[in-house]
Amino acid sequence: MVKDSEHGLEVGLGWAGAMRPGEYGPLAAYAEKAGVDSLIVYSDLMFQPPLGPLLEMANATKSVSLTLGCLTPFTVHPVEIAGQLAYLDAASDGRATLGLVRGAWLEKLGLDQRRTITAIRETCEIVTRLLSGDRSGFDGKVFTLGEGLGLQYSPRRTEVPLTIGTWSPKLASLAGELADEVEVGGTANPDMVEVIRRMTMVGTEMAGRPSDALEISFNPMLVIDDDGEKAEALARTMGAMYVAVVGAHDPTVELDPEMVGKMNALIADDDHEGAGRLISPGLLRKFLICGTPSDAIDHLLELEEAGVDRVYLGNPFGLDEDTGLRLLAEKVLPGLRSRGSREA
């Protein structure tokens, strides 16, 4: 994916699919017109599968990249992943990318995820073989592809960019070995850049790749409004779960165990607003981007300075989604690129 010519940081938007059919296309067209670089729909458990929304987006756009986000081979077989990817790539005229993850909350389905690294490595291998037309077969420890099996159609491209999403050192190392991008979800913490870079370097060095071969992306929630205090209040309520859950994976953040215990208890009682009130402003901004549009620009520039290549901003975007997207389009993106050009 090619970076914006005027500003180094790419800005994308991300959703877990929950809208009605027909709503994704206009949203994607608006985002593209506003200057967003990429769109991603996540395959989070019990949300809509991402292929349908992304096909709507492909039909409504011309240039943005479109990512099948956080597919996991524990719920979607690698053969099906290859097929979905090939179809989206054809429908978008070569704009598809693939995002693979271990997958969260899958214990609720009784799935065994103990062989995560092997499963994702073999998924990459099978997808690569199918897209390239290799029919020699594959006999893995988790997945098998019989000799002679291959796609019964010609894919648009034989190679498609790969993103691996993770907080895990082992999976980050695999990303360094195989992927084009590593994505860290639920963080807006500049200090995490060097942490994830060190994790991926194990894999890049093993594969003989340069350390900068892998791009780094973050996936923080965005809540902005001209009234920064209202935006922060909503961010606290909606972001409490991220602080309580994701915070345990961030080695640069020290969380008070007593506070986390209180937060978890409040969240269990569905009192997210109460849990959010326990979070300090500084801690909140380690996990999401909130406040005024100017606050968001400052935060994004800080992430760029730290070495983030791309951010996928997650909804609600603002006090309501339409207002948040309008402020992003009218104030944040123009201000980000204007300031970035002057400061470069």
Whole-structure pTM value: 0.93
Region 160-184 average pLDDT: 97
Q: What pLDDT is stored for residue 244 in this prediction?
A: 83
Reported as a single tens digit per residue, the pLDDT across 224-257 is: 999 999 999 999 999 998 888 889 899 999 999 9
Q: 288 pLDDT exceeds 80?
A: yes
Q: Which residue has the higher pLDDT, 265 or 1?
A: 265
**Helix 116-132 to helix 78-91 angle, to the nearest 10 degrees?**
50
Residue among 9, 333, 338, 309 at smallest CA distance from 161: 309
Residue among 288, 291, 303 at smallest CA distance from 336: 303
Q: Which residue has the higher pLDDT, 214 or 106?
A: 214
Region 276-289 average pLDDT: 96
Please give the single-letter amino acid code of residue 309: D
Q: Which residues contact 270 (CB under 8 A, 6 or more apart)?
A: none
Q: What angle do CA 298, 304, 305 make, to 5 degrees?
A: 90
Please give the single-letter amino acid code of residue 186: G
Q: Which residue has the higher pLDDT, 313 or 338?
A: 313
Q: How many residues does this entry show for the chain? A: 344
Contact 179, 209 (CB under 8 A): no
CA distance 32 to 21: 19
The confidence band for 343, taking pLDDT boundaries of 50, 70 and 90, is low
Q: 342 pLDDT exceeds 80?
A: no
Reported as a single tens digit per residue, the pLDDT across 46-72 is: 999 999 999 999 999 999 999 999 999
Q: What pLDDT is stored for residue 112 in this prediction?
A: 86
Q: 5 pLDDT exceeds 70?
A: no
Distance (Å) of CA 258 to CA 41, 75, 233, 254, 272: 35, 36, 22, 12, 17
Reported as a single tens digit per residue, the pLDDT across 182-208 is: 999 999 999 999 999 999 999 999 999
CA distance 309 to 288: 17
CATH class of 10-226+288-343: alpha beta
Average pLDDT value for the chain = 94
The confidence band for 2, taking pLDDT boundaries of 50, 70 and 90, is very low
Region 316-340 average pLDDT: 93
SS3 at position 162: strand
Region 88-101 average pLDDT: 98
Domain chopping of the chain, boundaries = 10-226+288-343
Give percent of the chain above pLDDT 70. 97
H or E, element range at 317: strand 310-318
Region 291-320 average pLDDT: 97
Q: Which residues contact 267 (CB under 8 A, 6 or more apart)?
A: 240, 241, 244, 275
Give percent of the chain above pLDDT 90. 88
Phi, psi of 166 (to 5 degrees): -170, 160
